[in-house]
Amino acid sequence: MKVAGLFAGVGGLELGLHRAGHDTLVFSEIWDPAGAVLERRFGGVPNVGDVASLKSLPADVDLMTAGFPCQDLSQAGKTAGIRGRKSGLVSHVFRLIDRSRPKWVLLENVSFMLRLDAGSAMTRLVSEFEQRGYRWAYRVVNSLSFLPHRRARVFFLASLEGDPADVLLVDDAEPAEPQTDLRSHAHGFYWTEGTRGLGWGPDCIPTLKNGSTIGIPSPPAILLTNGEIVTPDIRDAERLQGLPADWTKPAAQVTRASFRWSLVGNAVSTPVAAWIGKRLVKPGQFDPARDGAAVVKGNWPKAARSDGEVRREVMISEFPKWAKRESLQDFLRHQPNLLSVRATAGFLSRIEKSSLRFVPGFKDKVRAHLEHVRAIDSFVEPSRLLVAAE
C-alpha cells in the first residue's frame, strides 16, 4: 500500500510498514527534532510539517496512518480527553478523510483512552468512522509480544473495502512471561515512582516514558542479576522500541540530545507495525466465535469490532504473537548507566515509607546498590552515573 503518515514522530509506525513491503509517500510531523529524524531516515519522502497545512492526501494513497497526540488521553497526562488541545488534532484526520477518502486508516494511541471519561474518545472515533461508511476494528496490542518491553497501545483500523477484523483480530498467542526471580533474570521498574506504583516487569522494562517537556529524560531502571541497578543507554531504548540503534541521533543536530528520550517514548513499536503491515498484505479470516456482547455505552473493552451494524466486544488477548527473544539482560548491547547515589537514595526513601508490597529481597537489593554506588562514586567515570533528581 501507499502510505500517508500523519503525526509521524520518528516514523516507527511507517518503518514497520516498510518492513512489510508498504511505501510512505508523505509525512506530516511538526516537531523539528522528529522532522530531522524523518529527513535522515526516510530521505526523499516529503514532510509537510503542520497537519493543518495538508489540504489533501496524494491521490494514490491507500492507507493513512496517524499516531495522533496522546497527551490529553494518557493516564500520565492531563486527561483532558479527545477534545483537548493536543488530542483534538485528530479532527484533521476526519477532515482529510472527507477530502481524500483513503481506503484504509490506521490509528494508534494509549490504552487509557478506552476508559477516560467513560470511553468518550473511542465513542467519538467509532461514530465518526461509521458516519463515513467505514468498517472498523481495534485491539490493545502489547509490545511484549515481540520485545522485552511491556507497552500496551490501541491500534484502530478502519476500511472502505475490507474487514479490519481480518487484520487485527485473527492472530492470538499465549504469552510465556516469566515469574519474578531476582536471581535468574533482570527486572525493570521506574525509579521515579515507589509511592503509588512501580511498573514492575520480570525480564522486561515498563512502558518507556516521554520525559519532561524541557528534555529531562525519565528512563526506566533495570535490576540486573548481579545486583546493580542501571538505566539503559539511549541506543538500547531505541532497540526496545524495535528501532535500529541511533535511529534518533539526527535529532541532536537541532536540539539537546536528551530530547531523544522523548522521541523514543513517543514512538510506535516497530515490530507491532510490521505485524499489522504483513496482515494488511495477507489478511486472515476472523472467527465470529470470538464475538462477545454488544458494546452499548461506557468503558470500551480491550478489543472490539463493527460488522457494519452492531459493535461487539472481541475475546482476544493483547498478544498476537509471542516471538522468541533474548532475556532483557542479554538484550542490552550498550553500556548502561548506574543509577546514581542521589536517584537511588530518593527512590529508597520513597519505598521505605510506602505501603506498597515489594518482592522479597528487592529493598535489600536497592540498599546494596546504594552502598555500591557510594563506594565507587569517586572512582567511576561520571558518564556511567545517571545524575538525576529524586
The tally of CA atoms less than 13 A away on the side-chain side of residue 366 is 24
The closest of 303, 305, 268, 318 to 17, measured between CA atoms, is 268
Find the DSSP H helices in the chain: 12-19, 32-41, 91-100, 120-131, 165-168, 234-239, 260-266, 270-281, 328-331, 341-353, 362-376
Sheet strands side by side (includes 201-202): 201-202, 187-189, 221-223, 229-231, 337-339, 385-386
Q: Which of 4, 6, 63, 70 is catalytic?
A: 70
Q: Identify whether the C-beta of residue 292 lies closer than 8 Å to the C-beta of residue 123.
A: no
Active-site residue 204, yes or no? Answer: no
Torsion of CA 246, 252, 254, 259, to 10 degrees: 100
Q: Identify whether the C-beta of residue 204 lies closer than 8 Å to the C-beta of residue 149.
A: yes
Q: Which residues, 6 or more positions from 174, have their beta carbon under 8 angstroms from its beta carbon?
A: 317, 319, 322
CA distances from 274 to 34, 42, 167, 381 (A): 20, 16, 12, 39
Q: How far apart are CA 267 and CA 151, in angstroms?
A: 11
> Which residues are annotated as catalytic?
70
